[in-house]
Homo-oligomer: A and B are copies of this chain.
Amino acid sequence: MPKPQSFDSARLLFIRRWGEMAASWGISRTMAEIHALLYLSTEPLCTDDVMEQIEVSRGSASTNLRQLVNWGLIHRVHRRNDRKEYFEAERDVWQMFETIIRERRRREVQPIMETLDRCLAMVDEEQRRSPQGTKAEVEAFRRRFTDIGEFFELTNTLLNLMNKAGRTGLRPLATKLARLMG
């Protein structure tokens, strides 16, 4: 097995960039760096390993590790005769992104979908109480909301299909699709 420190140039570059990318997607840089570290590691790491390699405090390491566990991107690992907790990343990239997509959907897409429904209800209610504009105008306004809602629903459907297809099924699927659409 390669020593923990080998291939360091590649390791460090990837960790840095993974963190930068995450930061621009609204995910804490440190959390992503820790995730990258664990993803590349050949064996589970403990809090002290993370502190040393990412250069963060114990508090920060603990908090970020817990968040990663909550996301489901890493798992706790216990060893016999060792009080320490170790952490291991999900290695199946497909599984990894499925997790990310599921979490973001739950946290961020769901609320906006609910809001769209409420907006439509509000439009109808306001219209019922004190009619304004022509029928066509109101319909056009409603459409602003339904259009976005439909887009999200379609995206949902496609993501579900992608998940179903999974790692092995996806490439043939893409080929099939490409053919379907000429």
Residues of A within 8 A of B (CB): 1-3, 6-7, 9-10, 13-14, 17-18, 20-21, 23-27, 39-40, 42, 91, 93-94, 97, 107-109, 111-112, 115-116, 118-120, 122-123, 126, 132-133, 137-138, 140-141, 144-145, 147-148, 150-151, 154, 157-158, 161-162, 164-165, 169-171, 173-174, 176-178, 180-181
A171 contact set on B, CB distance < 8 A: 154
How far, in angstroms, from A98 to B9 measured CA to CA in the complex? Answer: 36
Chain B nearest CB, measured from A155 CB (Å): 8
Known contacts: A141-B42, A158-B174, A178-B161. The answer to whether A10 contacts B126 by CB under 8 A is: yes
Known contacts: A17-B111, A23-B26, A126-B6. The answer to whether A181 contacts B162 by CB under 8 A is: no
Chain B nearest CB, measured from A24 CB (Å): 5
Known contacts: A7-B123, A26-B25, A119-B13. The answer to whether A174 contacts B147 by CB under 8 A is: no
Partner of A2, one of B120, B138, B148: B138
Partner of A181, one of B109, B141, B164: B164
